[in-house]
Amino acid sequence: MAEIATPFAAPAPQTFDSDVLRGGLLSRLTVVGALLRFRATIGSDIARERNLGDYFCSLFLATLLFTAGYGAVLGMYEPGIQILYAGLKLPIVVLGTAMLCIPTFYVFNSILGSTLNFRQTVSLVFLMTAAVATILAAFAPIAWFFTVSAGTEGFLIVLHFAVFAIALLYAERLLAAIRDLLQTATGGTSVPRTFLTLWLLLVSTVGTQMAWNFRPFLSEGPFVTGTRSLCIEALRPGIDGVESKQ
């Protein structure tokens, strides 16, 4: 009798070699596994500037795919064209926020005495977006379940905010761990801890504003409303989030 292969019987790989990332689309996504399990390898690769270009492509791709997926879940509240719109808008928000905040990170980190160069800095920033995107992807089934079953708009907003908060906290922990690894590997300062927290606060503020600029995600509406306003105005009474009061 032919032996039936047991699922998950093969032992999980114990090491990660970033040369794998060159393989192709699916091999590029192995960076997510590395991000979850082999932080030490990522840390030493960044410290030695090994395969940074491949890391960048892979992290960018993972962020793009996962945020697009979560965006599509957001759009499922009003099925139709909104699934496509939200699926396109969320990657723009996440990647756009990261790119806007890279110069601030690089300049101030350098002033504060970091030894990281620009390529290493960019890798760290996209490591953050990939970590956020990974958590979003992990929570996407739960978000989808609530969206299609019992979600009112208010409840879903709170749910999505909570998921994003968890994602950011996870990214902060990941970056802090990588920072410690870099610190040990290079012997110099990589990223001052307080600065990292402050920068992530800036990222979340810019990200919230960027998401506000690309509203609506849940309810049906145009791709962009075209009105300029600050996200703090959402707290003002009388603004429904789509048409702003002049």
Partner 1 sequence: MRGISIRSWIQDRQARGSKKFPEAPLTPSRNVIKYFVMQSEVAIKDPHAALFALLRGRAAALPAPALLLLAAGCAAAFGAAVGSYTGGMQILYAAVKMPLYFLSTLGISFAALHVLAASRLPAGETLKAASEAVALTAAALGGLAPVVAFVSLSCRRPDQASYTFLILVLTASVAIGGLAGVARLHARIASPGLTVAWVVIYQFTGAQMAWLLKPWVSYTFKADRFLPLHENLHGNFYESIFGVLRSLLS
Site residues (vs partner 1, CB under 8 A): 99-101, 103-104, 106-108, 110-111, 113, 115, 117-118, 202, 206, 209-210, 212-213, 227-230, 233, 244
Q: CB of residue 96 vs partner 1: minimum separation in angstroms?
A: 9
The residue among 69 and 96 lying less far from partner 1, judged by its C-beta, is 96
Four-CA torsion 154, 205, 36, 108, nearest 10 degrees = 180
The residue among 60 and 106 lying less far from partner 1, judged by its C-beta, is 106
The helix/strand/coil state of 76 is coil
Nearest-10 crossing angle of helices 52-75, 39-48: 130
Q: CB of residue 27 vs partner 1: minimum separation in angstroms?
A: 31
CA distance 104 to 101: 5
Q: CB of residue 120 vs partner 1: minimum separation in angstroms?
A: 12
* DSSP H or E run through 105: helix 81-111
The helix/strand/coil state of 236 is coil
Q: CB of residue 194 vs partner 1: minimum separation in angstroms?
A: 14
- Is residue 122 within 8 A of residue 102, CB to CB? The reply is yes
CA distance 27 to 182: 25
Q: Cα–Cα–Cα angle for 192, 194, 195, nearest 5°?
A: 65
The residue among 44 and 244 lying less far from partner 1, judged by its C-beta, is 244
Task: Give the CB-side neighbour count of residue 105, counting CA atoms within 13 A.
Answer: 29
| Residue with token string 């009105």 | 227
Amino acid at 59: L
Q: CB of residue 111 vs partner 1: minimum separation in angstroms?
A: 5
The residue among 117 and 184 lying less far from partner 1, judged by its C-beta, is 117
The residue among 41 and 229 lying less far from partner 1, judged by its C-beta, is 229
Q: CB of residue 103 vs partner 1: minimum separation in angstroms?
A: 5
The residue among 20 and 100 lying less far from partner 1, judged by its C-beta, is 100
- Which residues lie closer than 8 Å to 82 by C-beta, 6 or more apart? 75, 219, 220, 221
Q: CB of residue 35 vs partner 1: minimum separation in angstroms?
A: 26
| Residue with token string 């902060």 | 172
The residue among 15 and 246 lying less far from partner 1, judged by its C-beta, is 246
